[in-house]
Amino acid sequence: MWWHRFTEPCKSAVQRATRGRGLTETVEYAKGLGQGTRQGLFRRFVRAFIHFWSYHLFLRSRRTSVTQVAGFRLTVPPTVFHPKVFLTSKYFANFLGGLDLSGKHVAEVGCGSGILSLAAARAGAASVTAIDINPNAARAAFDNARANGLGDRVRGVCSNLMSGLAPRALFDVIITSPPSFPGEPRDLADRAWHAGPEYRDIKALFNQARERLAPGGVVYLLLSSDSDLDLLGELIHLAHFSARQIGEQSIYIEDFILYELRTFS
């Protein structure tokens, strides 16, 4: 059964792991990925409240919902990051819609509903591999691609980051909007929000991306201004990537920051 492509690899993965304004300056790693946002008491309280509300109403919901985002009709099953509620998905999808990905082989790490994978396919990608440690997300990406007429170019893979892919698989473009915050996730659903203490669960992401990137390839990375940009910038630098901030969008409680990563010698 095709469903085993999602469930079997993910069992072991879970066990192992239990447009905005354009900017051209290259980030100086001594300053991480930027200054970020000062975490005052009020801001921390607001973020904690939003997480509590979002977690209990959406991440832990047992209901499957259907929504429209960025021109796609998406079915969002329980435990899957909801692209209508969490605005990063729409912002990133709109950015991808402005790219020409004709003939490119693309991977999305942390696909959730699959909206970014669908946006990449709509932008012309020849193939898109939608990856998530959550089997419900991997299946949702596959189902949503098929429902939107893109099933011939998008496949879902359940994997802990890129560790479960075939050894020689290379990609021209890797897109990812990883969990923005450190802290122990409560469960599989909460891994869309929390990446473990000191970003434990995504520390291998940038090294894996470098190894999987075809010559001349690029990584598009979306983070929050409330992320630990110093620590993530260090991880990016250690993986031999240079970073360039290419977009930013502000909402009341945070900024979404989009980076382009390219390898250096």
Q: What is the CATH number of the domain that holds 176?
A: 3.40.50.150
pTM of the model: 0.83
Domain count along the chain:
1
Interaxial angle between packed helices 4-17 and 135-147, expressed in degrees from 0 to 180 and rounded to the nearest 10: 150
Neighbours of 99 (CB within 10 A): 18
The pLDDT of residue 82: 85
The pLDDT, as a whole number, for residue 17 is 42
- Tell me what pLDDT residue 56 has: 56
> Could you identify the residue written with the tokens 């980051």?
161
Supply the pLDDT for residue 188: 84
Q: Mark residue 255 as left, alpha or beta (left: phi above 0; alpha: psi -120 to 50; beta: remaining).
A: beta
How many residues would you count in the chain? 265
pLDDT at 254: 78
- Distance between CA 215 and CA 87 in Å, rounded? 32
* CA 232-238-241 angle, 5° bins: 85
Q: Is 95 helix (H, G, I), strand (E, B) or coil?
A: helix
Task: Give the count of beta carbons closer than 10 Å to the beta carbon of residue 134.
Answer: 24
Pick from 260, 216, 205: which is nearest to 238 by CA? 205
Tell me how far apart the alpha carbons of residues 257 and 85 are, in angstroms, rounded to a whole number: 18
Tally Cβ neighbours within 10 Å of residue 98. Answer: 9
CA nearest neighbour of 182 among 220, 219, 223, 222: 223
pLDDT at position 20:
36
First-to-last C-alpha distance (Å) of the chain: 44
Q: How do beta strands 105-109 and 127-132 pair?
A: parallel
Low-confidence ranges of the chain (pLDDT < 70): 1-32, 34-61
Range of the domain at 142: 4-263
The 3-state DSSP class for residue 205 equals helix
- The rounded distance, in Å, linking the Cα atoms of 169 and 22 is 31
Q: Write down the mean pLDDT value for the chain.
A: 84
